[in-house]
Chains A and B, each alone.
Chain A
Amino acid sequence: MISESEKNKQVISVILFEVEGEQFCIDLLTAREIIPKGQIRKLPQTFEFVEGIYNYRGDIIYIINLSKKLRLFEYKTLKKKEEAQEISEAESNKYIIVVNINNINTGFLVDRIINISHVKANAIVGLSPIFETSISIDYIKGIIKFDDRPRILLDVEKVLTEAEQTQIQKELNK
């Protein structure tokens, strides 16, 4: 059992990135590599949030359009137009963050990589009604209180449901 004082000393490294003008973090340990978006081959029949497949170091991996998966567009339409940052096509979907979800390499399509930083575990708080979040709480591991403003720490393993992971694994094995 980790004591509260030990927990407060713990630090994690996070990578901060942007999708549709919203900034998110993931634990750096979950990222294998971040690569500029290359040629993604579209698939005729798959989930609507799958952008396509990509040849990553000789392995075929699925590329997830995070904006679609997290349904960020729905949140954006709810926001007042003047608040929403418009992302031009040239600025969107520029990078692929390769993560390993239950031994399957998967790519998350994101717009911009901002930085990496160390975060004290006690700066990560659970969800509370004071936070308006742009995405479903199912995908959220916590909220990180950065000096300027809080940001969502994504739970990488929950971005795809078990059923989605199984389906993707099946399609990969075809």
Chain B
Amino acid sequence: MVDALAEARRTSKRFGAFLAVDVMDLVIARSEVVGLLGANGAGKTTLIRLLLGLLQPSGGTVRLFGAAPSVSTRRRVGYVPQTLGLYVDLTVAENWSFTAGAFRNVATAMPSGIAAWKHELVGALPLGAQRQVAFAVALSHRPELLVLDEPTSGVGPLGRARLWEEIRQAAERGAGVLVTTHNMEEAEECDRLIVMVDGRAVATGTATEIIGGRKVAEIHCADWSRAFSTLEAEGFAVQVRGEALRAAGQVEAIGAMLARAGLGATVASVRANLEEAFVAIVSEPAAV
């Protein structure tokens, strides 16, 4: 039996008539990075709050380190909310000592990566640096479980790669990591993904597994604007990628339609990317 750091079994949460989380199973084990992917209102935040013990489940159970979530188990969790959870009008050092005081571990030294900004006000640092500091602060008390809400939102590609390096290092040291994200690039960094829609997990697995065998049609056409308008008018959800168009649909049907409109185009079937798979999954009628 895998040693689960956090576990939700048939957990549900109801707010009045609204079912925010509808029977979810979730396990986070050591040294793995799990991504929670879903639209706003899908229930990601509620689920996290249930795991952290900030909310009580209406049904099912939630276990944090094998027991019900409590103040003592919360000590072993590092949480970085989307708004960073740092005080922007305090310096890095002051934020560090505040967390140290709260978690009562005075001894931890500030990692060299952020020590350079020790006396800078957090609010004065660029976003990438702020995120690094937030992450370091969350790690400062050596948590066994990390919960990160959109950890690299707004950060450029190099900054993102560096942040993910830290996340991976934490996982390698034994921590379990739960990440929520909107960003497909970030989703592909996770070991496995859970796609949430309306409080339920509608797909799980690696990015490749989630895409499965889904295909989309890729269209190359000299007069791309007319091709775009034609397909849109017929109700296809068309996306533009550089010089090509991509749409979900049968290659033959699309080819025929474009030919009828007098447009010379080559249409081929290609593998869907994660975003297209996500949109397709989310729009499908719920399969239990």
Q: Do these two chains interact?
A: no
